[in-house]
């Protein structure tokens, strides 16, 4: 192949590239390319992915960029080596971090080492000058570039995309190239791998410019010629200038960068006090903490510590763990500053965060404040976190309350600096719903039908979009309109396309070498934060060490409960010292009273906890582990519960015993996959771990197959029959499971929350209202649950409420910030004004003092917050009407409403309820079903009476649908709520399809058959009927 494409955009050019990196490379392979460049607009987002995939295909990856210069002109830069790559990365970072728009020549010229520059596309400086026919400036520009860059590193770029003017422009460029003795090079300005993708390219351009295709002619490319062309096509187009093709190969030879090999990442060195090595210093910290924790170093503690120290030393992880210790210390400083702990309290006594994941199994982690679980108490195995053999640095994930995490991120940036500590990037990608909306809008398809289609899609049913469009009876679609077919095609192409670079939920990278030497950095949307242009996967491939700080709503809730209890009782509860065998708490869980409790509150989790009936923390770990897709996929949950309840069972082979003994022969934890692979298949620790991870990778079939062969061979060598070996191998799957230690960590947190809910329900509900959004349920459902715990929820009051919900006596008073359109800021203005100038007397007084607008005042009235002003809500709405058309600057008249208000008829409870639902998202004084019940008749059974019916009974029931879910099974699960509790509904796909529209409504009635097992029940839906089409009762949390 005598041509290398050196100007190529992937979909990481964000709306200006219509192919994935792997699509481009696979096409390049088909066309027999020996090398290919990636030159996305102003970023290296795809560089690592491209580099890796190219190497797998034995194509030489050339990394570059199409850089925006100071007047918006484009310039093509390619990295010859790591120096050139660093310079490109720095230039992009400069572009992102400085206030300048684009890179100036001066800045560019300081970053030329190792870089080859091509003069660029039709938007380049030189081509813009040619367009304006400014000969003098063209000559000045080319003279300067060829002199500064040197003629070996600067090429005049010719493009022939069969666009009007290409021929003339190329002729002019060639004449200048000859004049200055600059070499020419051909590129095709590739924006997609095959010409068919030009439609998607047009769509992306239309989306980018926010205009439908019909109004996008100015922005669209003229044709579909911007695809990856074969050598013969390029040879034909550049037949007059063959050297321009040969030069592509010459440049390719100049580029010798191997990104994975050449990148220079080092984790920061932890500086230890004199006289210590990192290892001895870590050991010292651990022994001191162990004495504080246990009183003395017992042989059990000593043995475990020595085992861990040995592995830490072997894998050179002491410095790594000490850096974590440093971060935890930083978090502790945050806690102290927020008044959440005392400097006198040792770190391990009140750790600022909680570990999750396999790292929780480490005693060292417990002692240096990385985790809240004592692994000795629960006999947690180290293997998964610190195997004897390993080639990667282990992951440590830390959970923090939101406020601590926010501040911690800032302090990590401060401590290491923005060029040495950045957040991992994350690409927001196109999913089906967004794709239907955006593409449909571009195509000019009717909005109403598109929205219906969005509603029908993504229910988890394995229907194709085409089936949805052409067979769905609820859609009023003109099937002859070819645009619906185009929609189907383009939606399938765009799925997974990156929309923008955002911030990963938790990952941070800390590095000794400047990060912008390795990957460009940019400010995040939140001020004071910086992100890099690589996502988690690229970071892993670059072998960066990622530290995960996660914000966990439940920890924020826990912190608020503890503070509220402390305020009330003067006693800050130490959750490490509560009774973990409190059977009253466990009994409350057995009854399914777990709404709002981390990890055990979903319908599936409630049903499982009723069947498992945990009585200690080990059972809690089983409960938490059970409701994971990887356990359910092989019917593991039911099997485990049946066996717990005494069902006879046997191992498929006795060699399974060591791995599966504790979980009755069922795989509940990730670690057990590793153990089983080692025990049965004789795989090494590393092989077993790679096998487990390979199940979760894309395109990993070959790896899994090779391990399967190895596993079967190992198993048969150990005396298993081939059939049994295959049977055991089939127990492995790619669905997610928790590591054992992770399940313990979450199980403990779940118990903590259950304990707090049981003993401090008022504080529990106040805090969960204040920490929204979190959890599985909306405020209405939480309020209903609060009522069942004798917590009275009061409507907000303009003269009594705080910004957030608060405790008044023994009741919960809603805060103003939950009122629609008010938010935290306006609520604060209202409260501050009240504190400084006294109570609000009437609506006029409120509006004039706070400047709140019509919609905000209306919602205050609807929510009941103005009831204390002495008027009915109808009167208040009438009074508000007097202000509706007030010009902005006109002063309000000081009206005495008492005299001018008309006499309005009495209150309408139904209307008031609807208004409360729409302004608050809940109805504090009751439930909609209390009103509806009267009209339904006796045949409609309320939730509290359903359990009296036997399995198989046919019943009618009704309520609000508060949650829709579709796990891996075929059925769809809905949670219905009435004034007494919840009714779990199961809908088979055929029934769902027939009743899709009705089932998307809030308030419905259903008929169905009761199905009971092990103390739980479901109603299997047969029919659905409408009750009321009002659709603003609550916001159901669906398909999460």
The reply on whether position 165 binds another protein by CB under 8 A is yes
Burial class (CB in 10 A: 0-12, 13-18, 19+), 164: exposed
To another protein, the closest distance from the beta carbon of 455 in angstroms equals 24
The stretch near another protein (CB under 8 A) out of 5-13, 68-76, 196-204, 908-916 is 196-204
Distance CA 271, CA 260 (A): 28
To another protein, the closest distance from the beta carbon of 493 in angstroms equals 14
First to last CA, the chain: 50
DSSP-assigned states of every residue in 867-933: GGGSS-HHHHHHHHHTTTT--TTPPPP---HHHH--------HHHHHHHHHHHHSS-TT--HHHHHH
The reply on whether position 480 binds another protein by CB under 8 A is no
Query: For another protein, which is the closer residue by CB, 194 or 483?
Result: 483
Distance CA 17, CA 46 (A): 12
CA neighbours within 13 Å on the CB side: how many for 723?
Answer: 0
What is the phi/psi pair of residue 281, to 5°? Answer: -70, -40
Query: For another protein, which is the closer residue by CB, 1 or 167?
Result: 167
The reply on whether position 866 binds another protein by CB under 8 A is no
The reply on whether position 213 binds another protein by CB under 8 A is yes
To another protein, the closest distance from the beta carbon of 178 in angstroms equals 21
Burial class (CB in 10 A: 0-12, 13-18, 19+), 582: middle
Residues 1, 101, 144, 167: which binds another protein (CB under 8 A)?
Answer: 167
The reply on whether position 115 binds another protein by CB under 8 A is no
Query: For another protein, which is the closer residue by CB, 140 or 214?
Result: 214
For residue 186, what is the enclosing H or E element?
strand 183-187
Residues 222, 303, 492, 706: which binds another protein (CB under 8 A)?
Answer: 222
To another protein, the closest distance from the beta carbon of 225 in angstroms equals 6
The reply on whether position 162 binds another protein by CB under 8 A is yes
Q: For residue 1, what are its two tokens?
A: 């192949």
To another protein, the closest distance from the beta carbon of 449 in angstroms equals 16
Residues 2, 113, 135, 223: which binds another protein (CB under 8 A)?
Answer: 223
The reply on whether position 164 binds another protein by CB under 8 A is yes
CA 106 to chain centre: 40
Query: For another protein, which is the closer residue by CB, 183 or 486?
Result: 486
Distance CA 748, CA 87 (A): 49
To another protein, the closest distance from the beta carbon of 437 in angstroms equals 17
Query: For another protein, which is the closer residue by CB, 487 or 1010?
Result: 487
Contact 205, 438 (CB under 8 A): no
The reply on whether position 217 binds another protein by CB under 8 A is yes
The reply on whether position 483 binds another protein by CB under 8 A is yes
Query: For another protein, which is the closer residue by CB, 196 or 264?
Result: 196
**Looking only at residues 387 through 446 of this chain, which bind another protein when binding is defined by CB under 8 A?**
443-444
Q: Could you tell me how many residues of this chain bind another protein (CB under 8 A)?
A: 22
Residue 227: closest CA among 201, 265, 256, 204: 201
The reply on whether position 240 binds another protein by CB under 8 A is no
Contact 739, 358 (CB under 8 A): yes
Distance CA 166, CA 410 (A): 51
To another protein, the closest distance from the beta carbon of 167 in angstroms equals 5
**b/e map 723-733, b = 16+ CB within 10 Å:** ebbeebbebbb
To another protein, the closest distance from the beta carbon of 212 in angstroms equals 9
To another protein, the closest distance from the beta carbon of 445 in angstroms equals 10
**Vertex 572, ends 571 and 578: CA angle to 5°?**
100
Residues 166, 349, 867, 1014: which binds another protein (CB under 8 A)?
Answer: 166
Helix, strand, or coil (residue 296): coil
**Torsion sign across C-alpha atoms 799, 803, 804, 808:** negative
The reply on whether position 197 binds another protein by CB under 8 A is no
For residue 127, what is the enclosing H or E element?
helix 125-131
Distance CA 292, CA 288 (A): 7
Distance CA 371, CA 396 (A): 10
To another protein, the closest distance from the beta carbon of 172 in angstroms equals 13
To another protein, the closest distance from the beta carbon of 191 in angstroms equals 13
The reply on whether position 469 binds another protein by CB under 8 A is no
Helix, strand, or coil (residue 955): strand
Residues 72, 168, 523, 1026: which binds another protein (CB under 8 A)?
Answer: 168
Query: For another protein, which is the closer residue by CB, 223 or 492?
Result: 223
Residues 11, 43, 224, 341: which binds another protein (CB under 8 A)?
Answer: 224
The reply on whether position 220 binds another protein by CB under 8 A is yes
Residues 333, 486, 930, 1014: which binds another protein (CB under 8 A)?
Answer: 486
What is the phi/psi pair of residue 62, to 5°? Answer: -115, 125
Contact 93, 518 (CB under 8 A): no
The reply on whether position 493 binds another protein by CB under 8 A is no
The reply on whether position 16 binds another protein by CB under 8 A is no
Q: Tokens 């321009």 identify what position?
A: 244
The reply on whether position 210 binds another protein by CB under 8 A is no
To another protein, the closest distance from the beta carbon of 266 in angstroms equals 51
The reply on whether position 477 binds another protein by CB under 8 A is no
To another protein, the closest distance from the beta carbon of 720 in angstroms equals 59
Helix, strand, or coil (residue 269): coil
DSSP state of 5: B
User: How, if at all, do strands 972-977 and 954-965 pair?
Assistant: antiparallel
To another protein, the closest distance from the beta carbon of 442 in angstroms equals 8
The reply on whether position 57 binds another protein by CB under 8 A is no
Residues 157, 202, 348, 399: which binds another protein (CB under 8 A)?
Answer: 202
The reply on whether position 569 binds another protein by CB under 8 A is no
Q: For residue 621, what are its two tokens?
A: 């770990």
Binding site for another protein (CB under 8 A): 162-168, 198-199, 202, 213-214, 217, 220, 222-225, 443-444, 483, 486
């Amino acid at each position: 192949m005598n041509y290398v494409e050196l100007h190529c955009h992937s979909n990481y050019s964000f709306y200006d590239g219509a192919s994935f990196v792997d699509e481009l490379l696979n096409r390049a392979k088909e066309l027999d390319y020996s090398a290919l460049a990636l030159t996305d607009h102003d970023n290296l987002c795809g560089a690592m992915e491209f580099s890796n995939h190219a190497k797998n295909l034995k194509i030489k990856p050339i990394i570059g960029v199409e850089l925006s210069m100071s007047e918006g002109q484009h310039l093509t830069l390619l990295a010859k080596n790591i120096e050139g790559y660093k310079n490109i990365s720095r230039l992009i970072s400069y572009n992102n971090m400085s206030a300048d728009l684009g890179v100036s020549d001066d800045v560019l010229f300081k970053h030329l080492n190792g870089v080859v520059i091509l003069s660029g596309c039709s938007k380049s400086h030189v081509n813009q000058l040619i367009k304006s026919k400014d000969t003098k400036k063209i000559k000045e520009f080319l003279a300067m570039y060829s002199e500064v860059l040197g003629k070996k590193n600067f090429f005049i770029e010719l493009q022939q995309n069969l666009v009007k003017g290409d021929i003339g422009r190329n002729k002019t460029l060639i004449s200048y190239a000859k004049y200055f003795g600059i070499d020419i090079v051909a590129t095709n300005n590739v924006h997609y791998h095959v010409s068919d993708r030009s439609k998607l390219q047009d769509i992306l351009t239309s989306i980018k410019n926010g205009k439908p295709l019909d109004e996008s002619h100015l922005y669209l490319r003229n044709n579909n010629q911007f695809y990856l062309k074969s050598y013969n096509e390029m040879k034909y187009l550049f037949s007059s200038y063959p050297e321009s093709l040969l030069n592509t190969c010459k440049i390719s030879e100049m580029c010798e960068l191997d990104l994975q090999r050449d990148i220079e990442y080092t984790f920061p060195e932890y500086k230890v006090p004199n006289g210590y090595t990192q290892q001895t210093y870590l050991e010292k910290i651990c022994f001191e903490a162990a004495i504080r924790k246990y009183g003395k170093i017992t042989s059990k503690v000593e043995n475990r510590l020595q085992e861990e120290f040995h592995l830490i030393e072997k894998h050179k992880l002491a410095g790594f763990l000490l850096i974590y210790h440093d971060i935890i210390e930083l978090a502790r400083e945050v806690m102290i500053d927020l008044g959440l702990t005392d400097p006198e309290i040792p770190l391990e006594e009140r750790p600022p965060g909680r570990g999750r994941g396999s790292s929780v199994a480490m005693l060292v982690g417990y002692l240096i404040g990385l985790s809240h679980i004592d692994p000795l108490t629960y006999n947690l195995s180290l293997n998964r976190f610190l195997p004897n053999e390993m080639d990667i640095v282990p992951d440590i994930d830390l959970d923090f309350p939101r406020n601590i995490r926010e501040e911690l991120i800032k302090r990590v940036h401060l401590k290491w600096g923005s060029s040495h500590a950045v957040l991992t990037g994350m690409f927001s990608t196109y999913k089906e719903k967004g794709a239907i909306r955006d593409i449909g809008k571009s195509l000019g398809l009717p909005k109403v039908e598109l929205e219906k289609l969005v509603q029908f899609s993504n229910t988890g049913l394995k229907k194709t979009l085409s089936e949805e469009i052409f067979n769905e009876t609820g859609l009023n679609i003109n099937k002859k309109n070819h645009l619906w077919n185009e929609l189907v095609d383009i939606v399938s192409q765009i799925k997974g396309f990156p929309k923008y670079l955002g911030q990963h939920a938790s990952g941070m990278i800390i590095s000794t070498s400047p990060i912008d030497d390795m990957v460009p950095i940019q400010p995040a949307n939140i001020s004071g934060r910086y992100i890099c242009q690589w996502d988690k996967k690229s970071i892993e491939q670059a072998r960066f060490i990622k530290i995960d700080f996660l914000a966990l709503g439940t920890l924020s809730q826990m912190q608020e409960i503890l503070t509220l209890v402390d305020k009330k009782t003067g006693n800050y509860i130490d959750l490490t010292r509560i009774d973990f065998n409190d059977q009253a708490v466990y009994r409350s869980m057995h009854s399914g009273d777990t709404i709002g409790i981390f990890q055990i509150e979903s319908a599936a989790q409630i049903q499982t906890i009723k069947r498992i009936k945990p009585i200690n923390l080990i059972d809690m770990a089983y409960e938490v582990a059970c409701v994971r897709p990887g356990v359910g996929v092989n019917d593991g949950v039911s099997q485990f519960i049946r066996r717990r309840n005494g069902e006879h069972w046997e191992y498929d082979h006795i060699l399974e015993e060591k791995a599966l003994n504790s979980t009755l022969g069922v795989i509940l934890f990730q670690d057990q996959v590793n153990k089983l692979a080692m025990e049965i298949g004789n795989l090494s620790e590393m092989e077993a771990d790679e096998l487990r991870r390979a199940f979760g990778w894309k395109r990993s079939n070959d790896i899994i197959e090779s391990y399967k062969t190895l596993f079967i061979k190992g198993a048969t060598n150990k005396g298993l029959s081939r059939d049994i070996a295959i049977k055991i191998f089939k127990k492995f799957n790619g669905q997610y499971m928790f590591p054992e230690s992770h399940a313990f960590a979450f199980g403990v947190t779940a118990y903590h929350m259950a304990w707090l809910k049981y003993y401090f329900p008022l504080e529990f509900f106040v805090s969960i209202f204040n920490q929204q959004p979190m959890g599985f349920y909306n405020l209405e459902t939480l309020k209903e649950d609060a009522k069942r715990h004798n917590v009275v929820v009061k409507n907000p009051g303009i003269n009594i409420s705080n910004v957030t919900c608060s405790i008044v006596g023994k009741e919960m008073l809603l805060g103003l910030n939950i009122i629609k359109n008010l938010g935290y800021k306006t609520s604060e203005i209202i409260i501050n004004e009240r504190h400084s100038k006294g109570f609000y007397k009437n609506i006029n007084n409120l509006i004039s003092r706070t400047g709140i607008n019509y919609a905000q005042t209306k919602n205050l009235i609807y929510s009941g917050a103005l009831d204390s002003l002495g008027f009915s809500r109808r009167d208040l709405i009438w009074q508000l009407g007097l202000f509706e058309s007030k010009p902005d600057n006109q002063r309000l008249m000081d009206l005495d409403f008492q005299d001018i208000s008309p006499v309005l008829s009495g209150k309408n409870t139904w209307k008031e309820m609807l208004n409360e639902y729409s302004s608050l998202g809940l109805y504090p004084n009751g439930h909609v079903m209390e009103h509806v019940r009267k009209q339904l008749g006796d045949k409609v059974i309320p939730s509290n009476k359903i359990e009296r019916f036997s399995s198989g009974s046919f019943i009618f029931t009704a309520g609000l649908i508060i949650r829709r879910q579709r796990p891996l099974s075929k059925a769809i699960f809905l949670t219905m709520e009435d004034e007494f509790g919840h009714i779990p509904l199961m809908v088979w796909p055929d029934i769902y399809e027939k009743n899709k529209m009705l089932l998307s409504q809030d308030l419905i009635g259903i008929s169905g058959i009761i199905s009971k097992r092990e103390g739980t029940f479901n109603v299997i839906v047969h029919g659905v009927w409408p009750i009321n089409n009002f659709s603003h009762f609550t916001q159901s949390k669906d398909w999460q």
